[in-house]
């Protein structure tokens, strides 16, 4: 065998060994590259638009204006900051109630009882329906003239309520609809976590004389903390993106007085009503950074904290 053949064989073996040692990355690389492009390109394009005066069309010529759009957005106390406040109130107000109600439902379904499977299916029904259909249904229920909600109130002598018609009641009513729809999601996640827990710590606490509340607070809840964190992360991200419910009920601008205008509704109006893509992109980047900060606070800052 010649020296050239030996070198070629040795080189082939080295390549084969390298491929074998790194096969998990080689096989995953196409999907990782595709995902990076799929995520990176929209973010990069949005960042580019946010530092230009793009208006009318994203294909129209646009001039570089630096951080001017960001300054305009951050100094907008009439629309941007109220939208930030409504987004926070809607997201974390609904999330807090959903977490408490979801935990209560999960605890009720934790222990076996008759017709448990049917009860689980019934609880899941609000979650499987599309948000647009649910928004239309509750819009009819809360209609001030023909709505079933005011009719029920009239039966008990309570005067009709404005629900979606008044700025003071619009956001709380929308939060109620969101709670009704997404509490089952929290309940199912927490129920899955509860069923995976061992019975031994609870039995030990019972033998030591702990009552039901003490066993839940000092035993069950600490063991369930990682699952609770996952539920909070998933639901908070989803709630921050809420658009369809708000748009179907209140339309563009979030109502006549912008009473339901969150950041998503605000960006939609900037983009598709005023065609101000530069400002809209700046709002999206700021919103994206806010979400990253919230996620960081929920994950890294709570690692050593007690619930």
Between the alpha carbon of residue 97 and those of residues 53, 92, 134, 282, the distances in Å are 41, 9, 19, 32
Confidence of residue 14 (pLDDT cuts 50, 70, 90): confident
pLDDT of residue 52: 92
pLDDT of residue 58: 64
Contact 91, 241 (CB under 8 A): no
Q: Which of 181, 179, 174, 189 minimizes the C-alpha distance to 234?
A: 189
Confidence of residue 305 (pLDDT cuts 50, 70, 90): very low
pLDDT of residue 10: 66
Contact 295, 241 (CB under 8 A): no
Confidence of residue 306 (pLDDT cuts 50, 70, 90): very low
Of 102-106, 130-134, 241-245, 293-297, the range with the lowest mean pLDDT is 293-297
Between the alpha carbon of residue 179 and those of residues 89, 175, 232, the distances in Å are 13, 6, 14
pLDDT of residue 96: 95
User: What is the sign of the dihedral through the CA atoms of 122, 123, 128 and 130?
Assistant: positive
Residue 86 has pLDDT above 50, yes or no: yes
Q: What is the pLDDT averaged over residues 14-42?
A: 83
Note the pLDDT tens digit of each residue in 267-284.
999 998 889 999 999 999
Domain ranges for the chain, please list them. Answer: 3-50, 71-299
Q: What is the pLDDT averaged over residues 77-88?
A: 94
**Residue 3 structure tokens:** 């020296």
Residue 1 has pLDDT above 60, yes or no: no
Note the pLDDT tens digit of each residue in 148-167.
999 998 899 888 888 998 88
Confidence of residue 27 (pLDDT cuts 50, 70, 90): confident
pLDDT of residue 48: 92
| Better-scored residue on pLDDT, 177 or 198 | 177
Residue 299 has pLDDT above 70, yes or no: yes
| Better-scored residue on pLDDT, 73 or 144 | 73
Residue 183 has pLDDT above 50, yes or no: yes
Confidence of residue 210 (pLDDT cuts 50, 70, 90): confident
Assigned superfamily of 71-299: MetI-like (1.10.3720.10)
């Amino acid at each position: 065998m010649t020296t050239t053949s030996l070198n070629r064989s040795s080189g082939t073996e080295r390549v084969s060994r390298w491929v074998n040692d790194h096969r998990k990355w080689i096989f995953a690389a196409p999907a990782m590259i595709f995902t990076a492009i799929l995520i990176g390109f929209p973010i990069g394009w949005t960042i580019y638009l946010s530092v230009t005066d793009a208006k009318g069309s994203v294909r129209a010529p646009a001039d570089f204006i630096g951080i001017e759009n960001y300054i305009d957005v951050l100094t907008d106390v009439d629309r941007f900051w109220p939208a930030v406040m409504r987004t926070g109130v809607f997201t974390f107000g609904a999330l807090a109630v959903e977490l408490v109600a979801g935990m209560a439902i999960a605890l009720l379904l934790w222990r076996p009882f008759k017709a448990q499977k049917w009860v689980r299916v019934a609880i899941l029904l609000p979650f499987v329906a599309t948000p647009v259909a649910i928004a239309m249904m509750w819009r009819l229920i809360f209609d001030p003239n023909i709505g079933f909600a005011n009719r029920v109130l009239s039966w008990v002598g309570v005067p009709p309520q404005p629900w979606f018609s008044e700025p003071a009641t619009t956001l709380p009513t929308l939060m109620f609809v969101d709670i009704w729809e997404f509490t089952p999601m929290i309940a199912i996640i927490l129920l899955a976590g509860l069923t995976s827990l061992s019975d031994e710590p609870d039995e030990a606490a019972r033998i030591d004389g702990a009552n039901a509340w003490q066993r839940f607070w000092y035993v069950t809840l600490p063991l369930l903390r990682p699952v609770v964190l996952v539920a909070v992360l998933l639901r908070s991200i989803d709630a921050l993106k809420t658009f369809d419910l708000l748009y179907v009920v209140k339309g563009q601008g979030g109502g006549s007085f912008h009473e339901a205008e969150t950041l998503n509704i605000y960006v939609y109006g900037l983009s598709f009503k005023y065609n101000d893509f530069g400002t809209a992109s700046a709002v999206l980047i700021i919103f994206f950074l806010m979400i990253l900060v919230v996620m960081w606070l929920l994950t890294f800052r709570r690692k050593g904290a007690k619930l």
